[in-house]
Chains A and B, each alone.
Chain A
Amino acid sequence: MILADDERRMLGGGDGPAVQAAMELLVKYGEVLGAERLIDTDNVCGANIFNAQQRKLAGGSLDDVFAQISLDSPGGFEIPRVRAHSCQLIGPMDTLEWQVQGVPRETRDAILDSESYSARHGIHLMNTCTPYQVGNVPTRGEHCAWMESSAVIYVNSVLGAMTNVEGRESAAAAMLTGKIPYWGYHLPENRHATVHVEVTVDVTTNRDWGLLGYAVGKVAGETVPVLTGIADTPNLVKLKHFGAAAATSGGVEMYHIPGVTAEAQTLEQALGGNRPALTVKYGPAEREAAYARLNTTAADTAVDLVMIGCPHASLDQIRDVCDLLGERTVAPGTELWLFTPRGIRLLAERSGYGDRLRAAGAVLMSDTCPAMGRFVPDGTRVIVTDSAKQAHYLPAIMGVQGWFGDTGECVDAAVTGRWEGNL
């Protein structure tokens, strides 16, 4: 790779051993990718709140844990404050409802310690998978270094920011150096669509968008799809569900919906003037297949947990759950958990939704989710969610059955304790 003067200085240790370790990692990473150079970034989202497993494996001080887990370096040096604007993504624990999660006090203390270490190093504690919902809204063309596949696909596609899906180590190195390999979606020519998805069914509800995303991810894999035939103008929540699902079933990091997303007004623009390598239809059969695949892990209809907020819920989604509940309460033996960024949780409390949810027996949580924190209520066998992403991951991670449906079906399941959803 060709390195600029400041990059060579960092690599040579001129900015201290931690920055040197970070630059060494970026150079190795860039060489494996085949990147020609690095590019400056001042918008990094990473994950440096360490759980018990990571702290045990790395041992030593939090500087050493950061060096080993986040920089793949033996450590033995102090970590300086981050150079780039940096955010903490979703983490392992809700700092308020940790007891609901079943986190032991000792673990809570260790995680709080890790969190305040990040804050002292200048990392903003957004603690969400959706930084774009709470103020980190990259501009079009802004080079970013973000982790979290559902956030990457959102900011690339909807906003026109430029980032690859980074990992813990590359994001941490970007925080310390303000650099990331110039590869993939940082290059304009890689952002055109090669797969054309012709949508022939109505796509209107959040569930529709989740199903569409799950189907598109499966066919598009790593490529950039362009979708036509969508009559409805989707809002943030629908595109959030769509992107999260497409990034889950495949590896989609960028898509176009002409007239909706940032970089294409027309199909031709989305394709960059080329013919699509593949054209596929998304019709009733594809929609049914996606629904069936999402529900393959479930058979029993007695529901233990209803999970809303993957990716983290917006204030509107929280309000919708309150309205769907009405005066009803959550069934005994069933839990209704909502997850949102801590910033939106504060708004939800101020807007009265926190009280309404508590009165119904639901729990509003932030900072984490069951898949990330690896927790469900004791004895849980069956979960229900309105998120294709969570329905995909949580059964694998927690060994439970998972039903996927729309938000209304999920709230009904919480109230009755039974799953009665269908397509």
Chain B
Amino acid sequence: MKLPSGLAPRKVIPVLITLGIFLIVAIAASLFGSSLVDRITTVMFVNVIMVLGLQIFMGNSGLLSFAHVGFMGIGAYASALFSLPPDQKLMSLPDLYTPFQDLQLGFLPAVFAAAAVAAIFAAIVGFPLMRLADTAAAIASFALLVIVHVVLSQWTAMTNGPRTLFGLLKYTDMWTAAIWAFIIIVVAFVFKESSLGMKLRASRDNVHAANAVGIDVIKTRWIAFVISAFICGMAGAMWAHFITSFQPGAFYMSMTFIVLTMLIVGGPQTVSGTALGVLIITVVSESLRQMENTLGMNANFPFDTVGMTEILLAIVLILVLAFRPGGLVEKTELGAGWAKRRGRLRRQTQPETTDESLAGTE
């Protein structure tokens, strides 16, 4: 039997390894049973979705985007509009336009509708942006983040303005987040190996060569941008239904910093690296947060402690950029190198049992 090339061991093993790691984390967290661990793990899985959403665009295209946390915010607010019960809307969003007042979808439809809103927005604004190169693209995406932030914090009728939007139902639990994170991990791997992902990676490595072999670079980037905005919108919606009350400030600079840190430390060019980055940064920052709290209790400590975690994370990020700019898992997915070496070894010792020759006998 001939395996489709997409199912070659060096492609499948990294997916299994990544899923395995996170499955173990999920099981361990549910066995541990503390509400703090449960909360941290749930947020981590939402972040896996968010950061992989960003990786699909940034990792494969090589373009820097600051805008994706904005898509996350759009997803969060849109899902609130779609899912808040009508009587709750009267309290949370008193000035809401009439057509939205009676709108109420279930959890999953609301999540997907919200993700679609983020994707449609990205499709409209993204088309001109994909023409820009390097610095101009980065500045434009930054401008986009500011625009989304201003609109979220000023469109009082739809978002309750800069004040907290409250009253969302808590739908997301740890296993919901985990299962969606597993699905997105697979999606990110499949995207990377798809023809679209390959074209995008070709344009990242050499945009002129990609153009020369007939790849429509702008269109390819644009499709990836829309897909990744959809996933980030989903992450926002899931996050919103876990936290249940939030402000526009949640989707701005500090969130962008955390998301970028996870992506860069893990390794933006690899899916397993990115996912691992989320895990590592979650562990590091939550441990630091605990130390922060302990120190904060200590009356003798002369400084405020809130902010120390960010200071250390920023230092870690700068060190990684300076000394390992590709991230922890730079180019070869976790386990792929091992699978490749093993495959080569097997072919060398038993040439007659390679996939190709077996396929010929059937």
Q: Do A and B come from one complex?
A: no
Residues of A within 8 A of B (CB): none
